[in-house]
Structure 1
Amino acid sequence: MRRSSVIIFRWVSILFIFLGVLLLVLQLVQYSRLRAAFPPGTVIAGVPVAGLNRQQAAERLTQAYSVPVEIRYADAVIQMRPSAAGFRLDLEAMLAAADQQRIAQPFWAAFWNYLWNQFPTPAEVPLRATISEERLRAYLRDEIAARYDRPPSPASPVPGTTTFEPGQPGIVLDIDRAVILISDALRNPANRVVNLSFNRVSPTRPAFQNVQVLLQQVLTTRGYDGLAEIYLLDLQTGQEINFAYNDGQVIAPGIAFTAASTMKIPIMVSVFRRLEEPLSPEVTNLLEAMIELSENDPADRLMQVVLDARLGPLEVTADLQSLGLRNTFLAGYFYPGAPLLRTFTTPANQRTDVNTDPDRYNQTTPMEIGVLLSDIYQCALNGGGTFAAVFPGEITQSECRLMISLLSKNRIGVLFQAGLPEGVQIAHKHGWITDPRDGLIHTMSDAGIIYTSGGNFVLVVHLYHPTQLLFNPANELMAFLAQGVYNYYTLGSP
């Protein structure tokens, strides 16, 4: 080989070596720059960050997780900033984990893989963030539920009827479920839309005092031009309605009425106070005839045999006064010509603004006879109540249940019972009398405990008309009043 050819070959070799070294240097520089950034395939918290340095990756993560969460609730669309839920990324921890994978392989081994275009896929770095559930719940309660919940609308009385216009259901945000859904969306950079669920709320009853509006409407639309007093007691809550209505005007309650046969409820209580079970057949028969058949002779006989042969009615009155019932009394026996044993002056019969010409022998007010029925009910329910406090050990729970049973057998098909569906339990005592002076009815009453699927209540109605109470219109009025209250208690019930 000639010398000139050898020299050329040497220079060519040197050139190739130089080019190889230069290429290697260039690859080292390029790889060093690449190694300073996150390698291909790097994903942090669901966000691709390949080719980005720490600062750039942090900015991309912050941007991705700062996108508001779109909340859809009912017809509303709300944009919620993550900060409202106290959402915070732990950027340092995630970037450090990504860095650990980036530098885990020795430099030259990684460079050799780079030269052969072999890039191991890094494991995805999971999200590390905190959410304040307390702040999120507060946001849902104060910003979402407070603005967009729709409370149910209560039923309302239909003027002129005993029925109610149905209310409308409402919606209430399911906050527990919403916390889970929004927390998931805050942790997902790709899906930031949440459809919130809600609970439907059934329509509520009207306020208890609306029953008075309904009852007044019944009295007005039925054209009643006499005097009426109504007492209603909710046996679950203890709420009361007591008002009087005189020829279209509301006046103060607490009016003295002739008790008539409703006085047989206090007589029954006094008899049970003085006897122990089992009752004799004679007493049982007398009680059934007095309550179920509303006969007067058995009432007189019970007072004479069990209470006092001469002063039995005053014993009943004494028991009533012990129970705090100052306006209810019995001043003589029922039989014609019975002597008046005592004259009673009460707050009710001393009123000068209204007068029902009450019988001097027996009087009451709707509230007091209603309270006595409530005492029987509470005693039958749990053995406690007023009887246990005033007559300890003298009137038992089983005796009170027997009283309820006797009153429930008073099935006459008129007054309250006529306004209630067949099969509804009503423990009641009715009363009306024909005035011996003119042969007309002026006073009519019904007092009972009515049991319904929506709650139990005491209802007492006394009617009085100075001219005459025609039985059929008065009977229908009583039925409509009971029906209106019954419809209130059974709103929404099956």
Structure 2
Amino acid sequence: MTGKRSLSFLRWVSLAFIFIAVLLAVYNLIGYSRIRGSFPPGMRIGGVHVGGLDRQSAAERLVQAYGVPVELRYNESIIQVKPAVVGFELDLESMLSAADLQRVNQPFWEGFWEHLWNQQPSSADIPLSSKMAEARLRSYLIDEIAARFDSPPSAAIPVAGSTNFSGGSSGTTLDVDRAVFLISDALRSPSNRVVNLSLKTVSPPRPSLQNLQILLQQIIAESFDGLAEIYLYDLQTNQELHFAVNKNEAVQPNIAYTAASTMKIPIMVSVFKRANEPLPPGVGDQIALMIDRSDNPPADKLMSEVLDANTGPLVVSQDMAALGLENTFLGGYFYQGAPLLKIFKTPANSRTDINTFPDQYNQTTPMEMGLLLRDIYECASTGGGTFSVAYPNELSQNECRQMVAYLAKNKIGVLLEAGLPEGTQFAHKHGWVTDTADGVIHIMQDAGIVYTPGGNFVITVYLYHPVQVVFDPVNIMYAQISRAIYNYFNLPTS
């Protein structure tokens, strides 16, 4: 009996253990089923912990993490930007589906076995999937941030009573392209939500050409009561300033003037156009005398020997007409008593509102002489320009550089050159005419190319006075004009 009782007791104990084991197994199975219904511990979606969360809770956490405003810092200003405002959207469906796929990818019983042994299932991070409306972000930066926080630079202005300009002040502007990149990164990060915006320093702009014109007119008014015409060409921007004043009253420019020695620039162009390259020594010597010493016999010699013995001046006129310079011509040689080969009627010398009584032998306008200098500069700089179209294969870049070199050797220390800083390259030709009838100067001009650190430019200044151009005060005025223009291109740094 005792044996039977012991056997019965053991049987009940065994059954109890089996029952408990079954209960534990069911309990763990139910627990595992619940865990399997959530994302595995350690799982991240887009860098956000979602382990142990169900699909809905994970979605809410992602929205919360990526819905935090991005903090933009513009200098000392702080701007909070909601992601939705700049077109950022999470692609929740694709991320959660990828996470679900990973969750159920492990076989049930294999996972249950690992669960029983307290082994955490491995899980890979799900990358962020989102949409970004870059155009919307860019518009926000331009319309809301830049428009509100950018500080524009202030332009330099003329200093009253001088030929100087104030330095102006720099400004700041948002680097929009860089900002788009930085903010896009911040919107895709659940933790790094602060962006220090990149800014650009904007240099102060030059004064307007209108301000420069006012300054130049003031300089003229203080020193000269005759006719003055100025043509300025910015060789970087292709902007022009062109005006004329007579007795300090504005008049229509493009007035015909006696070209005098500035006509030697067109002669030089025509000679280089026809002479062999390299220049014969005798030709180069005559050009140097014509430009540097402003002698007339070398000009006549070049035209008769290189162009045409009888009609050399008309060849120069034809070359200028081919460039579209209809008011620039040479009607005869320079020597005393030279016959007038042709009478030229031009738009400039046909005007009836103003008359400088230009010489029938040689005439030009400040603008046309300036345009010719521009053509020489462009040819010397690039080998192209108007010369390459009007004179194809007839003027090389090297020849144009030689022309600039000849003009740069013309150093006189007066007129426009006197106002330029020491060492400034000034390729120019000047001229004036002493009237044989009264022995005084009525016409004076200076025309050239100025090379400066702040930009190169062409400047021509032509004067006429019916009574007399008095050299000393006019010479000072020329210097003030060139100094003011030089300062315009080379503003002081603050």
Paired position in structure 2 for 1:252: 252
Partner of 1:375: 375
Q: Partner of 1:131: helix, strand, or coil?
A: strand
Distance across 2 between alignment mates of 1:189 and 1:389: 62
Q: Which string of whole-angstrom CA distances, capped at 9 and with x for unpartnered residues, describes residues 250-309 of structure 1?
A: 221111112221122223233334432444444333322221011223333434444455
CA offset at residue 410 of structure 1? 0.5
CA distance in 2, matches of 1:280, 1:32: 103
User: Equivalent residues in 2 for 1:386-405 (5 A)?
Assistant: 386-405=386-405
> What is residue 165 of structure 1 aligned with on the other side?
166
Q: Which residue of 1 aligns with 2:231?
A: 231
Q: Which residue of 2 aligns with 1:453?
A: 453
CA distance in 2, matches of 1:94, 1:274: 80
CA distance in 2, matches of 1:259, 1:64: 79
Q: How do 1:21-36 and structure 2 match up within 5 A?
A: 31=31, 35=35
> Match of 2:432, as an amino acid?
W
Asked if 1:93 corresponds to 2:97, the answer is yes
Q: Which segment drifts farther, 347-356 or 139-148?
A: 139-148
Deviation for aligned residue 1:423: 1.9
Kindly tell me: are residues 493 and 235 of structure 1, through their superposed partners in 2, closer, same or farther at Cα, counting changes over 3 Å? farther
* Deviation of the 1:66 alpha carbon: 1.8
Between 301-310 and 285-294, the greater mean CA deviation after superposition: 301-310
Paired residues for 1:54-453 under 5 Å: 54-83=55-84, 84-88=86-90, 89=92, 90-93=94-97, 95-96=99-100, 99-100=103-104, 109=113, 112-113=116-117, 118=118, 120=120, 123=123, 125-132=125-132, 134-135=134-135, 136-207=137-208, 210-220=211-221, 222-309=222-309, 311-453=311-453
Shifted more, 203-212 versus 442-451: the winner is 203-212
Q: Distance in 1 between matches of 2:309 and 2:125?
A: 99
Q: Runs (4+) of structure 1 moved beyond 6 Å?
A: 16-23
Deviation for aligned residue 1:206: 4.1
- 8 Å contact kept, 1:97–1:125: no
> 2:485 maps to what in 1?
485
Measured in 1, the distance between the counterparts of 2:95 and 2:257 equals 83
Instruction: Report the secondary structure of 1:165's partner residue.
Output: coil
User: Does the residue aligned with 2:466 lie in a helix, a strand or coil?
Assistant: coil
Q: Is the 8 A contact 2:111 2:121 kept in 1?
A: no
Cα deviation for residue 129 of structure 1 reads: 2.2
CA distance in 2, matches of 1:35, 1:370: 87
Q: Which runs of 5+ in 1 are unaligned?
A: 1-5
User: Whole-Å Cα distance in 1 between the matches of residues 109 and 201 of structure 2?
Assistant: 58
User: Using the alignment, how far apart are the partners of 1:457 and 1:99 within structure 2?
Assistant: 73
Shift in CA distance, 61/320, structure 1 to aligned 2, threshold 3 Å = closer
Q: 1:388 to 1:92 in 2, by over 3 A?
A: closer
Which segment drifts farther, 65-74 or 256-265? 65-74
Deviations 1:235-256 (A, max 9, x none): 3443322211122222211111
Residues 332-367 of structure 1 deviation map (CA, whole Å, 9 limit, x = unaligned): 443445454544333222322222232333222111
Cα distance change, pair 100–429 in 1 and its aligned pair in 2 (3 A): same
Which moved further from structure 2: 243-252 or 306-315? 306-315
Structure-2-length-normalised TM-score: 0.82
Cα gap change, 1:167 to 1:48, in 2 (>3 Å): same
Q: Distance in 2 between matches of 1:54 and 1:387?
A: 76
Which residue does the alignment assign to 1:3? none
Evaluate the alpha carbon distance shift between residue 458 and residue 132 of structure 1 in structure 2; reply closer, same or farther with a 3 A threshold: same
CA-CA distance at 1:419 after TM superposition: 1.5
Contact kept? 2:114, 2:121, Cα under 8 Å = no
Residue 44 of structure 1: aligned partner: 44
Superposed displacement of residue 23, structure 1: 8.8
* SS of corresponding position for 1:376: helix
Q: Matched residues in 1 for 2:267 and 2:31: separation?
A: 108
Contact 1:377 1:404 (C-alpha < 8 Å) held by counterparts: yes
Gap change, CA 1:55 and 1:169, over 3 Å in 2: same
Shift of 1:51: 5.7
CA contact (8 A) 1:453 1:493 kept: no
For the structure 1 residues 51 and 405, does the alpha-carbon distance in structure 2 shift closer, same or farther, using more than 3 Å as the test? closer
Separation in structure 1 between the aligned mates of residue 440 and residue 21 of structure 2, nearest angstrom = 132
Q: What is the deviation of 1:492?
A: 7.6
Output one character per residue of 1:361-413: Cα deviation in whole Å (capped at 9) or x when no partner: 32221112222223333343444444444444544444333322221110111
Structure 2 letter corresponding to 1:371: L
Residues 58 and 91, structure 1, Cα contact 8 Å, conserved in 2:
no
Question: Compared with structure 1, are the counterparts of its residues 107 and 408 closer, same or farther at alpha carbon in structure 2 (3 Å cutoff)?
Answer: closer
Q: Percent identity?
A: 53
**Distance (Å, rounded) in 2 between the aligned partners of 1:397 and 1:21:** 101
Taking structure 1 as reference, are residues 207 and 71 closer, same or farther at Cα in structure 2, changes over 3 Å only? same
| Residues 133 and 179 in structure 1, CA contact (< 8 A), matched pair in contact too | no
* Post-superposition CA distance 1:72-131 (Å, at most 9, x none): 223443322223333313452365167449986657646745xxxx57486574443223
Q: Distance in 1 between matches of 2:395 and 2:21?
A: 115
Deviates more, 1:363-372 or 1:17-26: 17-26
Secondary structure at the residue paired with 1:243?
strand
Query: Matches of residues 1-20 of structure 1 in structure 2 within 5 Å?
Result: none
Measure the CA separation in 1 of the matches of 2:205 and 2:71: 32
Residues 223 and 473 of structure 2 are in contact (CA less than 8 Å); yes or no, is this contact kept in structure 1? Answer: no
CA root-mean-square deviation: 3.9
Structure 2 unaligned residues grouped into runs of 5+: 1-5
Q: Which amino acid aligns with 1:445?
A: Q
1:392–1:61 Cα change, 3 Å: closer
Conservation of the 8 A alpha-carbon contact between 1:379 and 1:396: yes
